[in-house]
A = this chain, B = another copy of it.
Amino acid sequence: MTLLTAGILIIGDEILSGRTQDTNANFIAKNLTSSGIKLEEIKVIQDKKNIIIDSVKLFSKKYTYVFTTGGIGPTHDDITSESIAEAFNKKYGINKEAFNILEKYYPEGEFNKSRQRMTKMPTDAQLIYNPMTAAPGFILKNVHVLPGVPKIMEVMFIDVLKNLKKGKPKKITTINTTLYESKIAPYLKEIQSKYEECSIGSYPYFNFLSNTGGVNIVISSWTMSSLDDVKKEIIEMIKLNSGNYSIV
Contacts and interface: CB of A to CB of B under 8 A. Distances in A.
Interface of A: 10, 13-23, 25-33, 39-47, 73-78, 112-115, 117-118, 132-133, 149, 151-152, 170, 172, 181-186, 188-189, 192, 199-206, 208, 218, 220
Contact of A189 (B17, B75, B188): B75
How many subunits of this chain does the assembly comprise? Answer: 2
Nearest to A190: B76
Given A13-B201, A18-B31, A40-B46, 4 more contacts: A47-B201, A73-B181, A77-B202, A114-B181
Contact of A33 (B18, B181, B205): B18
Contacts of A74: 181-182, 185
A66 B104 CA distance: 49
Contact of A201 (B14, B133, B184, B185): B14
Contacts of A170: 17
Given A114-B185, A151-B208, A186-B114, A17 B77 contact: no
A44 B13 CA distance: 17
A117 B181 CA distance: 12
A40 B78 CA distance: 18
By secondary structure, the A interface counts as mixed
Contact of A132 (B132, B152, B199, B208): B208
Which of A25, A75, A183, A208 has the most chain B CB atoms closer than 10 A to its own CB? A75
B18 A29 contact: yes
Contacts of A184: 75
A192 B76 CA distance: 8
